[in-house]
Structure 1
């Protein structure tokens, strides 16, 4: 993306400029071959090394040991709404789900096609403005797992901490819009997954991290491409994987390592979101009613829809795109993912202050 444009879209989102430059260099020739990286076979040794390097880098920055299997798949996080029950929910068992919002709800709808799903808690009664406390939700110790969305992109909510639940039921989470911006408490998770197009890379690849001890018992109806055991045994290449998106993701993992790792990325996420929320709370023209606020997807309203339309139009004219809220909730939304620099947030805040002075 041009350095003159700030992309606040919920996804696909910005990539670090240095990563884009590295990707540009791969388009003419890759690894000494007379072919682009997008032209070589996924069976080629040089691409197998790309996958191995990406996996090793991700494991390092998240602190995962060899008990974890990392998969690079297609289908998006939405595909894993089916992949989770197909791999972890055996016939005759139940799984618990928390209705956290738009994406948590979609995960529930999809999972019900493949087994007995119990919705143990919901944010609906609070207008999806406050997430149910993980430490307080009712849990059946016999569940195969408990699923939730850690950060709701549409609703702008997020679990500030992943609390210890009442029983040792495996936790499974959709982490699409917070991956690499939170230090993951791995001891509390059995699996987590996310689409890359927010914090990690371009659209096309989905990252699945699962404890190896949970592999090996997919449902009989599980398609081979969704079978985590088969994909793991084939190094995520049972079928042709999203080659270029995996390469880009690997470059982002290395960029994270070079910039202080996930702890530093989490600190930057907190700093960026804090500045935005302080601005929203300070200026009467803006409002945010979320009790459990997201650090990556900051939703806000203006006092009238007419002003929101004017705000969005002027913001785009000033080089800030993707600020329109999701069609399901309206308003505005600033997604400040991994690659959004603090300077970009400061530019948005300065515009918000100026807009308020002229229209407050």
Structure 2
């Protein structure tokens, strides 16, 4: 069967090797005579899968011992609420840097919980750039935390460096670029990420939280919305998304097989360069949404000369086997999401398609 050239923004491409291994174990995992979906989450077999997933993530990301790894549900969207519920004290303020729709949504939820303030924003440019670190304004005396979204799937922008804070934790939504490059986890108080981009399928959300931020005094919160509940129970307070965690473990094994995050970062840089070169060398036919120094290596966003050209591009791309190149409805145009599992060869094929389409479309316009 021919595999699609999958550039979906999420749920996104999974490594083919992961899918093949899962297929081989689909009906009988570890000689249990059952699928992983049929195992008790209290069984020794699933406990081993669960523990391996946590251990692999700690190893791959070099997570310090003073951090807890949690597997939760509800996606990053639930973390928009859980973060302020657990970390925003009544006498403190949460600061947010706005770089796109997801950071706006995170701020909207935090406002329902307590005092908030915008520390920096790129909204006036329709989110074409990441604000410079020196532009971020917050008061260390009253800051509960500073929240950023490290990669913006809709607008195609990505943080290249991160703020260094005094007396307040840095909170990061890394849903769309976790494991795509090397980071120093110790610079963050809490990292959260929905799995459906680089970690695995949708259904599980990873939270990496510094242990001193887990507050045992928040007994007024619903039990399931307290980080302590999940930390104390090793993320097994209730039935977890067992299939998603199993596939996460296979993705993490695949990351190791690729040579770790450093090798993936090299590959992601090469993949992004192929497509950005096709944009930059198109004599203005393609125009990137993001300014060059804020360009994402996960989501390449671009426009064509007009709606007709865009429609023709997407139709011909679909016919050629490409999937998921439509831009988000809020900004239009096109978007190629090139997460870890998207092969370099697929990006090369897309870059070549873009060059040929530009040539043929321009020639047809001249003739007409």
Q: Which residue of 2 aligns with 1:340?
A: 342
Is the 8 Å Cα contact of residues 88 and 218 (structure 1) preserved in structure 2? no
What SS class does the counterpart of residue 79 from structure 1 fall into? helix
CA contact (8 A) 1:287 1:301 kept: yes
1:63-107 per-position Cα deviation (integer Å, ceiling 9, x unaligned) = 112211111111000110001111111222211111111101010
Q: Structure 2: which 5+ runs fail to align?
A: 363-368
Aligned partners of 1:87 and 1:217 also within 8 Å: no
1:114 shift after superposition: 1.0
Secondary structure of 1:112's aligned partner: helix
In structure 1, what is the Cα distance between the partners aligned to 2:269 and 2:158? 12
Work out whether residues 100 and 152 of structure 1, in 8 Å CA contact, stay in contact via their aligned partners in 2. Answer: yes
Equivalent positions of 1:264-275 (< 5 A) are: 264-275=263-274
Aligned to 1:312: 314
2:325 matched to which residue of 1?
Answer: 323
For normalisation by structure 2, the TM-score amounts to 0.94
Aligned-pair CA distance for 1:219: 4.2
CA distance, structure 2, for counterparts of residue 217 and residue 153 of structure 1:
35
Distance 1:288 1:168 in 2: 37
* Contact 1:145–1:170 under 8 Å retained in 2: yes
Name the CA distance, whole Å, in 1 between partners of 2:313 and 2:322. 11
1:97-246, aligned counterparts within 5 Å? 97-141=96-140, 142-165=142-165, 167-217=166-216, 219-246=218-245
Using the TM superposition, name which of 335-344 and 109-118 deviates more. 109-118
**Closer, same or farther in 2 for the Cα pair 1:32/1:6, shift >3 Å?**
same
CA contact (8 A) 2:170 2:189 kept: yes
Matches of 1:94 and 1:220 in 2, distance apart? 21
1:214 Cα deviation from its structure 2 partner: 0.8
Give the C-alpha shift of residue 218 in structure 1: 6.4
Farther off after superposition, 340-349 or 18-27? 18-27
How far 1:4 moved relative to its partner? 2.9
Once the two structures are overlaid, the 10-residue window that deviates more, 253-262 or 90-99, is: 90-99
| C-alpha separation in 1, matches of 2:250 and 2:290 | 34
Q: How many Å separate the matches in 1 of 2:342 and 2:206?
A: 21
Report deviation, 1:220: 4.5
Checking the alignment, whether the CA contact within 8 Å between 1:150 and 1:158 is kept in structure 2 is yes
Q: Which residue of structure 2 lines up, in the alignment, with residue 30 of structure 1?
A: 29
Note the alpha carbon deviations across 1:41-68, whole angstroms, 9 max, x for none: 1111111111110000001010112211
**Cα distance between partner residues in 1 of 2:217 and 2:155:** 32
Distance 2:216 2:296 in 1: 35
Look up the SS of the partner of 1:213 in the other structure.
Answer: helix
- Structure 1 residues 257, 42: CA separation in 2 closer, same or farther (over 3 Å shift)? same
- Alignment partner, residue 6 of structure 1: 5
Mark the CA change 1:218 to 1:21 in structure 2 (over 3 Å): closer, same or farther. farther
Structure-2 residue corresponding to 1:355: 357
Per the TM alignment, residue 227 of structure 1 is displaced from its structure 2 partner at its CA by: 1.5
Residues 233 and 64 (structure 1), Cα distance of their counterparts in 2 relative to 1, 3 Å cut: same
Distance in 2 of aligned mates of 1:351 and 1:254: 32
Comparing 99-108 with 3-12, greater Cα deviation is found at 3-12
Gap regions ≥5 residues in structure 1: none
Distance 2:225 2:265 in 1: 31
8 Å contact kept, 1:90–1:219: no
Structure 1 residue runs of 4+, over 3 Å off? 217-221
- Residue deviations 1:270-291 (CA, integer Å, cap 9, x gap): 1111111111011032101412
User: Could you tell me how far 1:21 is from its partner in structure 2?
Assistant: 0.9
C-alpha distance 15-3 of structure 1, shift in aligned 2 (>3 A):
farther
Per the TM alignment, residue 3 of structure 1 is displaced from its structure 2 partner at its CA by 4.6
Distance change in 2, residues 1:353/1:218 (3 Å): farther
CA distance in 2 between partners of 1:84 and 1:13 (Å):
25
Give 1:231 deviation, angstroms: 0.5
Conservation of the 8 A alpha-carbon contact between 2:64 and 2:186: no
Q: CA deviation at 1:311?
A: 0.7
Q: Determine the C-alpha separation between the residues in 2 that align with 1:113 and 1:24.
A: 44
Q: Equivalent residue for 2:56?
A: 57
CA distance in 1, matches of 2:252, 2:318: 30
Tell me by how many angstroms 1:299 deviates: 0.2
* Residues 61-76 of structure 1: pairs in structure 2 closer than 5 A: 61-76=60-75
Q: What are the superposed Cα offsets for residues 126-145 of structure 1, whole Å, 9 maximum, x if unpaired?
A: 22101112243112113111
